[in-house]
Amino acid sequence: MTKKRQKSKIPVPKAERVSLPDVVATPPSPQVTQKDAHPHENLDRASRAAVAYMSAGVSPHAFIAAWSDWAVHLARSPGRQLELAERAHENMAKLVGQAIAPKSETAPAFAPKPYDHRFRHPGWKTPPFKAMQQGFLAVQDWWDYATDHMRGLRAEDADRTRFMARQFLDLWSPSNFPALNPEIIEETRKSRGRNLVDGARNFTHDVVTTVAQIHEPAPDGYKVGEDLACTPGEVVFRNDLFELIQYAPKTENVQSEPVLIVPAWIMKYYILDLSPQNSMVKYLVEQGFTVFMISWCNPTASQADLSLEDYRKRGVIAALDAVNAIVPERKVHAVGYCLGGTILAIAAATMARDKDDRLASISLMATQVDFAEAGELLLFLDESQIAFLEDMMWEKGYLDRPQMARAFSTIRSEDLIYSRAVRRYFLGKQDVPTDMGVWVSDTTRMPARMHSEYLRGLFLENRLTAGRFAVEGRVIALKDISAPIFAVGTETDHIAPWKSIYKTQLFTDSDLTFVLTSGGHNSGIVNPPEPERGHHRVSHRPAGALYIGPDAWFAQNAPQPGSWWPAWKAWLGERSSGRSAPPPMGAPKSGLVPLVPAPGTYVHQI
């Protein structure tokens, strides 16, 4: 048998060895940072970049194609057209019936979506404003129905068409017009027009700061390093990509295994170290953990060539090496948040492949490893859209902060754009500062090469869970990970939907605890035990257990009141080997000496 197998090995000609696109971490794509191409190509890219700046980074081709696909399929579907006509007739009948019914029997025929706060003022329940509100919601209901999925219509185009219809409708909502909004009329009467003067001042200020790209300082009481990101510690390692913060112990003894946190580099790290009452770092330190935090740099044009591999090797792995030098002969509890969790999962799978067992556990918070159901961010992503973004980044070397902020805001434009605009420009009110609000406005840039690799390799082609993502020329698999996993999803997350995060169980075989908590992408994660708020569901899947779908899982696990942090703390404790004296700050013998106090210098980069 052995001889036959040896004889059957036929050398493959070099010309036929063309499987490399399936085993590279970065799929072949136009170089987003090179400017030495043919002048005609550079002209094309420059012209597309100019259009991209005017369209806020949104590809016109992608949306024109979506409208065309929807319109063609609707035109050849007479049954669907009849359905839409009937829906319009039903909605009109509801509005007329509501208008002529006695006042005591006029329950609203249409209700705003749960996240839509534009019609909360009591004046919207009185005529004539109630009729305008109900008319707008009736039209919105019809368009939601009209842009639902149709047979033959690409689901992506249906969702994209619905998104565009919603954006157009939101622009013409009666709440946006002073003469049609009862809250603005009431405030104008009370203040004798002062609100409009203050609103004009706010509008002028916002236009100037947006056009001039002015980075405003944090308001009093929310200074980074004083009020936020103020947990004591030292920067013990620094390279061009990140600073590593080691936090000072607050207990006599600590858990022997340290915690290394890998935050996302889309924003600053201190979402996990906000004001003291909302700081996850402070909570962990007070519970007796030695905590290390990566603080990523804010890339400039000179760092346009930073790659996804740089963030893994010179980021996560370099930080892990430093932690091992400070706390030797101990495994590490690795924690990743959002995009930081994705690169941590990639690093962990690579370590498992290479027989590197330095991880005691892996905690993934609001982290996707499979991007097939990546939420409304997928509306912005196809080949045309990514090429458009690459052309924007080609000119500057990075994706600038306004493009990132606009993409996230338009997903919830009702609240994040229009409600805020009405409050600032027509009611004349200032934004009430909060620790999370200050963090949200402290945006960062994305290096061109890394962002292109991330969008293409993970979002567009979903290579990580398709078995086609390779590191250093060799494919990695999440199922190779043997360390226990703690995965957290949030119920109303529109960036990383919880069902997408739940699919971590589908691609891993190790011991896994899954938590679903109330709140959104940020508020669900930043959920301290005091004051008690919200709820969470938690379950444990032993290594090798059968898979249960998300809907069945949800039905089987009842909500528990309060924060998920205590459950996580207990989980980490159970996977630690006991307590010992706190490690020193840094490791001078290894060249890791304290450089500057926390929060370091990179967090202040503008």
DSSP lists the bridge partners of residue 273 as 279
- Dump the DSSP string for 387-410: HHHHHHHHHHSEE-HHHHHHHHHH
CATH of 236-370+476-604, one of 3.40.50.1820, 3.40.50.2300, 3.65.10.10, 3.40.1390.10: 3.40.50.1820
Q: Note the pLDDT tens digit of each residue in 470-527.
A: 999 999 999 999 999 999 999 999 889 999 999 999 999 999 999 999 999 999 999 9
Tokens found for residue 384: 């045309």
Please report which residue ranges of 287-382 form alpha helices under DSSP H. 308-310, 318-326, 339-353
**DSSP conformation letters of 404-468:** HHHHHHHHTHIIIIIIHHIIIIIS-PPPPP-HHHHHHHSB--EEHHHHHHHIIIIIIT-HHHHT-
pLDDT at position 114 is 81
Task: Give residue 379's pLDDT.
Answer: 73
- Please provide the size of the chain in residues: 606
Burial of 301 (0-12, 13-18, 19+ CB in 10 A): middle
Q: For 448-459, what is each residue's pLDDT tens digit? A: 999 999 989 998
- Two tokens, residue 411: 């997903």
Is this model's pTM higher than 0.85 or not?
A: yes
Say if residue 573 is exposed, middle or buried (CB neighbours under 10 Å; 0-12, 13-18, 19+). middle
pLDDT digits over 166-220, tens only? 989 999 999 999 999 999 999 999 999 999 999 999 999 988 887 777 778 888 8
395 compared with 150, residue with greater pLDDT: 150
Contact 560, 538 (CB under 8 A): yes
d(CA 409, CA 382): 20
DSSP string for residues in 490-539: ETT-SSS-HHHHHTHHHH--S-EEEEEESS-TTTTTS--SSS---EEEEE
Would you say 418 and 183 are in contact if contact means Cβ atoms under 8 Å apart? no
Tokens read off for 451: 């962002």
Q: Percentage of residues in the chain with pLDDT exceeding 70? A: 89
Give the integer Cα–Cα distance in Å for 39 and 41: 5
Q: Are 436 and 222 in contact (CB under 8 A)?
A: no
Cβ neighbour number for residue 493 with a 10 Å cutoff: 25
DSSP secondary structure letters along 43-90:
HHHHHHHHHHHHTTT--HHHHHHHHHHHHHHHHT-HHHHHHHHHHHHH
The residue ranges of every structural domain in the chain are 60-191, 236-370+476-604
282: CB partners within 8 A, 6+ apart: 231, 273, 276
- Please check whether residue 404 is in contact with residue 266, taking contact to mean a CB–CB distance below 8 angstroms: yes
- Catalytic residue numbers read 338
So what's the pLDDT on residue 165? 92
**CA separation for the pair 421, 418 (Å, rounded):** 5
